[in-house]
Amino acid sequence: MKHIFKTALRSALSIGLFTFTACNSPEKTVDLAIARAVLPETLHPSIGAIERLDPALDRLIASDAKIEQLADGFDWSEGPVWVRTKQGHEFLLFSDIPPNKIYKWSEQDGLEDFLHPSGYTGLEPRIGEPGSNGLLLDELGRLVLCQHGDRRIARLGNSLDNPRPEYETLADKFEGKRFNSPNDGCYNKAGDLYFTDPPYGLPKNIKDPAKELAFQGVFRLSKSGKVTLLTDKIKYPNGIAFSPDESILYVAESGPQTRIHAFDVQDDGTVANRRIFFNPAELSAAGARGGCDGLKLDQRGNLFATGPGGVLIISPKGKHLGTLVTGTRIANVAWGNDGRTLYLTSDSYLCRIRTKTKGVGF
């Protein structure tokens, strides 16, 4: 750890990220523990900008908040989830889809390999996006994966402190036909898993000859193991999340007609009254890159949703308050630490930003 800190400190000083002088002597060796305590954020360079469109954003993101770049060099980072193990370890996991890997990041140890293969366990080489996408934890803290290559919802069959690529299938078919490539999911308080199933993990996408379903669906996997189709009316369903009270289910649609849908959740767990919650067409028309993908909510019901230009911060009434801009397309986000840190998987980058609000589940 000291070696990592010394390297980061030396690098930061060399590029002018910060400077300080030890007491009474510019030659004196700096105590690393003191430097870390006083300047915890200086290890990571800032990136991008925060676009403020409404004064209401100031209640969510401080005026001096910065987007920090934590790591880079990924092919397409996705599916972040914050983990606390039974042994008391805390870290972020996220997918890198094309190379079929999951990485682990923590402040203490930095970036580490965590799991490979993550989404495709077959022996035949394959192209495209075979790895895991969305990652989440069930009510017992076990890692659940949306596996593109294996076309299933799976659960890691061993410890998060000593992981091995051994998986248990939770669901891989609907009415006898294989899923396309499960993409993202969210649990409700009853322990039911809601997930999306676009074709992005198939080598030839929507025209792949191995595609068995005639549609792309949003599904519910009940705690008892039953799979129910909730809707087949969204061509490319992607990110998915509940409102804090679970009365609304939000589903992002990617592809050419990118937007965010909202559904009312019924007493039996099904959904109704599909409507367009947010349409970013004007942003796309103005040249903003990217589309609606992953999304999470804070405890006040605000959406932190990836879309054209970055992470769009949208009020519960659908008003665009501002955007977190890294300069690259952002695939997904996740709350971590004390619930006031938002992690961003931004193409080849892993980033984060501190917020004044707290994520659902913290």
Listed by start position, the domains of the chain span 1-43, 91-232
CATH number of the domain located at residue range(s) 91-232 in this protein = 2.120.10.30
CA-CA distances (angstroms) from residue 158 to 86, 143, 166?
Answer: 13, 9, 7
| CA dist., res. 278 & res. 260, Å (int) | 5
Helix (H, G, I), strand (E, B) or coil at 299: coil
Helix (H, G, I), strand (E, B) or coil at 55: helix
290 membership: H or E segment, kind and range = none
Whole-number pLDDT of residue 43: 81
Helix (H, G, I), strand (E, B) or coil at 36: helix
| CA dist., res. 195 & res. 184, Å (int) | 6
Structure-token match 């009853």, residue found: 190
136 membership: H or E segment, kind and range = strand 132-137
Whole-number pLDDT of residue 86: 84
Structure tokens at 244: 């804090």
* CB 285, CB 247: distance < 8 Å: no
Whole-number pLDDT of residue 87: 86
- The alpha carbon dihedral of 38, 40, 44, 48 has a sign of negative
The size of the chain, in residues, is: 362
| Parts of the chain with a pLDDT under 50 | 1-42
Whole-number pLDDT of residue 244: 98
Q: Verify cis geometry, omega within 30 degrees of 0, for the bond prior to 117.
A: yes
Write the single-letter amino acid at 203. Answer: P
Structure tokens at 97: 């889809």
Sheet with 349-354: strands ordered across: 68-72, 349-354, 341-346, 332-336
Whole-number pLDDT of residue 30: 33
Structure tokens at 280: 């970013």
Which of 136, 137, 72 lies closest to 105 in space, CA to CA?
72
Structure-token match 């022996």, residue found: 123
283 membership: H or E segment, kind and range = helix 281-285
Whole-number pLDDT of residue 47: 96
Write the single-letter amino acid at 80. Answer: P
- The residues, ordered by sequence, that sit 6+ positions from 256 with a Cβ below 8 Å of its Cβ are none
Which of 320, 218, 319 lies closest to 274 in space, CA to CA?
218
Structure tokens at 278: 């947010």
